[in-house]
Structure 1
Amino acid sequence: MNLLRQLDLQKTYPAYFLIDSWYTSPKLINEAAKLGFQTIGALKSNRIFYPAGIRQSLNEFVKYITDYDLDLVTVKEKQYKVYRYEGKMNDLENAVILITWDVSSPNSEPKYLLSSDVSLDSQTIMEYYSKRWEIETSFRYLKDRLGFDHYQMRSIKAIKRFWLVQYIAYGYIEFYRYKNSSIFKLENLGTTIDHLKAFNLRNLVDYVYNCGKENVDLALVHKILRLVA
């Protein structure tokens, strides 16, 4: 909630707050609304809502849904079967809940989405929420491949500097991928990082090999490579 209050966005267009199921709480949704944000978020299967005025959890309610209750929705060339509910949730007077199944995985568990903006159609809600996945993948690369979660500083200045270095590295890798993807078939940031590591290692091996051919003193090679104990 404090982070939301710190946002100072010019709301020329409708602004949507995208969150996963850990954060889709009425308190946060209502705070976002005070600040002019609509919320679209995932829901856990045990959340309570009131279809036909009857108190139900989502995972209990899905047992009674038939194919006749579902709409077919296409998002980014993928098809989903969708059940749409609009009405009361605990501590929310009115919201849209979507219960969705991926048509290509008919036996998979349903996914649950909430939108505080009841004017949006089901396709738009799902398209907006899909934008959040790009944020998730970028955090995964930052954490798993660039050490974003390994910093051990206490001062705010040091932490901000570390973050800046991380985002510069991320930007460089993305730029390199964009410039060279047609040559090296770099599909994503992960393959680009692996490519750059292999490229740098090859350059290192070439350097050591050439030093050996030219009879460069081994102590000097150690010093240049900063391998002096």
Structure 2
Amino acid sequence: MSHTVIVPEPTAIRNYLLHHRLPLYFSKPVLAHVETYMTAATAKGFRGKVTDWAEYSDCHRTTLGHFLAEGVWDETVLQSKVKTESLRQILETSRRMAEPLFVIHDDTIAQKTKPSSQARFPMEQAGFHHSHLLGKVVWGHQVQATVLGCSDLSLIHSTNLYDKTFTHPDGTIYTKIDRVCDMAQTLPLPPHGGYCLVDSWFTCPRVIDAYAAAGYHVIGALKTNRILYPQGIRISVQDFSQHIRKEDVRLVTVNGSSYWMYRYEGALNEIGNAVVLLCWPEQALGESRALRAFLCTDVSLETETIAAYYAKRWPIEIFFRQSKNNLGFDTYQVRSAKAFIRLWALLAWTHLYCMVGLGQPCSFGDGLRAVRKQVQRDRLRYVYECAQKGIPFQVVCERFKVV
């Protein structure tokens, strides 16, 4: 008597793929790989490795490796779906809450081990990059990411490899600032105002002009060597701070922490008019090492509002931490550029699913726990249905690779 393993009812993950019409773009085998990746990536202990993925797939790990490196499917479909869905959710939240939309840019390093000079197949596109988190130069991939936010909701919008060798048609290098400016051109006019939140690397006239053309203001960190012109006098932020007295500043509380702030409004180098906030922690007023500066092109905002808005840049740091701790963002081992770019597309799609794919938006942590429970229920239901159909126990063990 032959036994055929029954096909269970569609899982929640499969229903999400169907809802976004992915069968129009991907074959059944590709969809099966995407579904098993999402199942594996949300499991405890996932490290982003193909072997982890293979534990949830009917295929051998070499098949999955081939799927990433040489498979015939278009990862830009997933990338586009992530952009479209994140933008739709954030725009809907902005209209419903009547609150501004935030576009957050930053980059991170997916750190790797420097290969030996004798390595036959080193990881592609890896190089030396300065890690601000570690305070040193490390080997790995530099990844630029964009997160969209409104109110309490923040969603991944894009992840892109920063390739120092990529150039424009005229031969000039395509920089991180170029990518940020290009992103501005793809965004719709915000329904209740919009702000681009960046660190000091991106606080420059090109980014300000690109976002102004799209209808957004820029709030960004500012290096303390930037030049101000108080009363027409040319002076750096650092030197200007030495002339600020306690009666010139005010104590502002942001997210439970208090800071002394001085507000300057006027010209900077290549910027006609903007607000610059000079900030010190409550217990470090006047200390040069504690000084932080921030720029805002919207001069109508109150000082407290500027500080509160800039604090909304933090979700992109949370995305990097969550992706590295839970989704294997810096522990993958695939070597070809196509493979790890595809892996990032799957990662972003899975992160988005955990936050908005369960009926209503939630935090990534809550969504991740809910998906894990869903997967456990689906697997238990599969075993239960096998028992009802009289499928031998050995067949079920083989299905779950516990033989």
Matched residues, number: 202
**More moved, 163-172 vs 13-22:** 163-172
Structure 2's unaligned 5+ residue stretches are 1-180, 377-394
Matches within 5 A, 1:132-151: 132-149=313-330, 150=332
In 1, Cα distance between equivalents of 2:234 and 2:281: 26
Match of 1:42 in 2: 221
SS in 1 for 2:252: strand
Matches within 5 A, 1:26-175: 26-106=205-285, 109-149=290-330, 150=332, 154=338, 159-169=344-354
Is the Cα contact below 8 Å between 1:148 and 1:166 reproduced in 2?
no
CA shift for structure 1 position 51? 1.6
Amino acid across the alignment from 1:130: A
In 1, Cα distance between equivalents of 2:267 and 2:216: 19
CA shift for structure 1 position 140? 2.1
CA shift for structure 1 position 135? 2.5
Which of 164, 179, 188 aligns to 1:8? It is 188
Percent of counterpart pairs with the same letter? 36
CA shift for structure 1 position 115? 0.4
In 2, Cα distance between equivalents of 1:124 and 1:58: 21
In 1, Cα distance between equivalents of 2:400 and 2:236: 62
CA shift for structure 1 position 13? 1.0
CA shift for structure 1 position 124? 0.7
Match of 1:210 in 2: none
RMSD value, Cα: 3.9
Structure 1's unaligned 5+ residue stretches are 179-187, 201-219
In 2, Cα distance between equivalents of 1:77 and 1:139: 23
Structure 1's 97 and 43: CA in aligned 2 closer, same or farther, altered over 3 A?
A: same
Is the Cα contact below 8 Å between 1:50 and 1:88 reproduced in 2?
yes
SS in 1 for 2:290: coil
In 1, Cα distance between equivalents of 2:259 and 2:325: 31
SS in 1 for 2:211: helix
Q: Deviations over 1:89-135 (max 9, x none)?
A: 11110000000112145556111110001111111100111111122
CA shift for structure 1 position 41? 0.7
In 1, Cα distance between equivalents of 2:343 and 2:293: 39
Amino acid across the alignment from 1:6: T
SS in 2 for 1:2: helix
SS in 1 for 2:265: strand
SS in 2 for 1:154: helix
Q: Deviations over 1:4-42 (max 9, x none)?
A: 111124x22111111111111111101111111011111
**More moved, 33-42 vs 68-77:** 68-77
SS in 2 for 1:119: coil
Is the Cα contact below 8 Å between 2:267 and 2:273 reproduced in 1?
yes
Is the Cα contact below 8 Å between 2:327 and 2:347 reproduced in 1?
no
Is the Cα contact below 8 Å between 1:142 and 1:170 reproduced in 2?
no
In 2, Cα distance between equivalents of 1:154 and 1:145: 22
**More moved, 32-41 vs 159-168:** 159-168
TM-score by length of 2: 0.42
SS in 2 for 1:6: coil
CA shift for structure 1 position 145? 3.6
Is the Cα contact below 8 Å between 1:148 and 1:163 reproduced in 2?
no
Match of 1:208 in 2: none
Match of 1:22 in 2: 201
In 2, Cα distance between equivalents of 1:158 and 1:73: 43
SS in 2 for 1:8: coil
CA shift for structure 1 position 65? 1.5
In 1, Cα distance between equivalents of 2:233 and 2:325: 44
In 1, Cα distance between equivalents of 2:293 and 2:305: 15
Structure 1's 59 and 144: CA in aligned 2 closer, same or farther, altered over 3 A?
A: farther
In 2, Cα distance between equivalents of 1:162 and 1:72: 41
SS in 1 for 2:224: coil
Q: Deviations over 1:45-84 (max 9, x none)?
A: 1111112211111112212211121122222333211111
